[in-house]
Amino acid sequence: MKQHLLFLTWALVLIACEKDPSVLPSEHDPSAASEALKDAASFPVGAAVNYNNFLANPPYSNLVKRDFNSITLENEMKNASLVKGGGVFDFSRADAMVNAAGSLQIFGHTLVWHTQQAASYYKAAAGITSSPAASQEEIAAKLDAELRRTIGAIAGHYKGKVQAWDVINELFADNGAIRNNSNTSTSGSDVLVWSHYLGRDLGAKAFQYAAEADPSAKLFLNDYGLESNPVKLDSLIAFVNELKAKGVKIDGIGTQMHISLNTSRTGIESMFKKLAATGLLVRVSELDILVNPSSATGFVLTPAIAESQAEMYQFVVQSYISNVPSSQRHGITVWGVMDASSWRYQNGKDFPLLYDNEFNKKPAYAGFLKALN
Ligand code: 9MR
Q: For 22-74, how does the pLDDT look when each residue is reduced to its tens digit (9 = 90+)?
A: 455 578 999 999 999 999 999 999 999 999 999 999 999 999 999 999 999 99
Cα dist from 3 to 14, 66, 122, whole Å: 17, 49, 75
Size of the chain, expressed as the number of residues it contains: 373
**pLDDT tens track for 246-257:** 999 999 999 999
**Domains of the chain by range and CATH?**
23-372 (3.20.20.80)
Is 286 among the catalytic positions?
A: yes
d(CA 48, ligand 1 centre) in Å:
10
Q: For 344-353, what is the mean pLDDT?
A: 97
**286, 333, 337, best to mutate for ligand 1 pocket (most atoms within 8 Å of CB):** 286
Within 6 A (CB) of ligand 1 lie 74-75, 116, 169, 224, 256, 286, 343
In angstroms, the CA 47 to CA 49 distance is 6
Which tops the pLDDT comparison, 247 or 21?
247
pTM for this model (two decimals)? 0.93
Atom nearest to 256 CA in ligand 1: 17
Q: What does the pLDDT read at residue 111?
A: 98
Task: Return the minimum-mean-pLDDT range out of 5-19, 62-76, 106-120.
Answer: 5-19
% of the chain beyond a pLDDT of 70: 93
Q: What does the pLDDT read at residue 26?
A: 76
Q: What does the pLDDT read at residue 17?
A: 45
The bridge status of strand 105-112 relative to strand 252-255 is unpaired
The answer to whether residue 11 scores a pLDDT higher than 70 is no
Q: For 113-128, what is the mean pLDDT?
A: 98
**pLDDT tens track for 127-162:** 999 999 999 999 999 999 999 999 999 999 999 999
d(CA 74, ligand 1 centre) in Å:
7
